[in-house]
Amino acid sequence: MEALIQVQDLVKVYSLGEVKVQALRGVSLLIEKGEFVAIMGASGSGKSTFMNILGFLDQPTSGLYLLEGMNGENLSKDQLAEIRNRKIGFVFQGFNLLSRAASLENIELPLIYAGTPASKRREIAQNALSEVGLKGREHHHSSQLSGGEQQRVAIARALVNHPSILLADEPTGNLDSKTSEEIMDIFSRLNQEKGITIIMITHELDIASHAKRIILFKDGKVVDDHKPEMRSR
């Protein structure tokens, strides 16, 4: 069977004026459907660049990236936007919610761009909100929510279009350890019960240990790829 994500010799070079920065120097990976992967590495190791490419926010300089056999190369900006909309869910460190909008409206955002009618949007968003345990917080603006609650809204938003992968860029970076645990519990549940593929960047080994696979980046290359030790609860 074909892998969900297939990455071959991925290279990304940024040119900052005269200086060329090599963010990725040949990354090759396979990620199967239903995996829960943590990507670790020091800052500047290229993991964020890798994540942006996986999320079709950025294009590699060379190399191959296939998501469900689909190549992002040669696609127009509009087609990339459509893939982001349908296939990918993003969760960011800083939550990235629209501060002036209520939780429900934030969750509805991907549905608007998918062309879902308003009445259906509301229903789907409502369900997604209960899914992350925030029933009753529909009309709260993000400024009225705690960090953990904001991140749950962001997770709900990431999932409304039933994406193939959930990409999380340091999802617990702005949260205390207790809230971080809660978020990781949600991730684990989504992965185990719903079979959602999750790829997560993190600094903390503690958080990474929730994943079923840990990939270590260094200087734009994968230097380690292993299963975590069994956690002792």
Partner 1 sequence: MIRILAGLRIALRALMVNKMRSALTMLGIIIGVGAVITMIAVGSGAKKRIAEQIASMGSNLLIVMSGSATSGGFRHGAGTVPTLTVEDAKAILSEIPGVRYVAPNLSGVAQTVFGNQNWSTIIYGTTPEILEIREWPLAFGRSFTQQDLDGVTKVCILGRTVAENLFGGIDPIGQVIRIKKVPFNVIGVLSPKGQSTWGTDQDDVIFIPLTTAQKRLFGMQFPGMVRVITVQAREPEEMEEVEEQITALLRQRHRIQPNQENDFSVRNLTEIMSSAEQSAGVMSLLLGSIASISLIVGGIGIMNIMLVSVTERTREIGIRMAVGAKGRDILLQFLIESLVLSLIGGTLGIGIGIAGTLILSTFTQWPVLFSAESILLAFLFSGSVGVFFGFYPARKASLLNPIEALRYE
- Looking at the Cβ atoms of 46 and 208, the one nearer to partner 1 is 46
Q: Pick the stretch among 22-30, 115-123, 195-203, 204-212 that binds partner 1 (CB under 8 A).
A: 115-123
* Residue placing its CB nearer to partner 1 in the complex, 102 or 134: 102
Q: Does 75 bind partner 1 (CB under 8 A)?
A: no
Q: Which residues contact 48 (CB under 8 A, 6 or more apart)?
A: 169, 201
> Of the candidates 103, 201, 86, 92, which has an alpha carbon nearest to the alpha carbon of residue 145?
103
Residue 152 or 210 with smaller CB distance to partner 1 = 152
64 belongs to the binding site for partner 1 (CB under 8 A): no
Q: How many CB atoms lie within 10 A of CB 22?
A: 15
Q: Give the Cα separation of 191 and 7 in Å (integer).
A: 22
User: Quick one: 100 or 194, whose CB is closer to partner 1?
Assistant: 100
Considering only residues 94 to 113 of the shown chain, the ones binding partner 1 according to CB under 8 A are: 96-98, 100-101, 109-110, 112-113
For partner 1, how many residues bind (rule: CB under 8 A)?
Answer: 29
Q: What angle do CA 189, 193, 199 make, to 5 degrees?
A: 60
Alpha carbons 155 and 107: distance in angstroms, whole number: 9
Q: Taking CB under 8 A as the criterion, which residues in 125-164 touch partner 1?
A: 157, 161
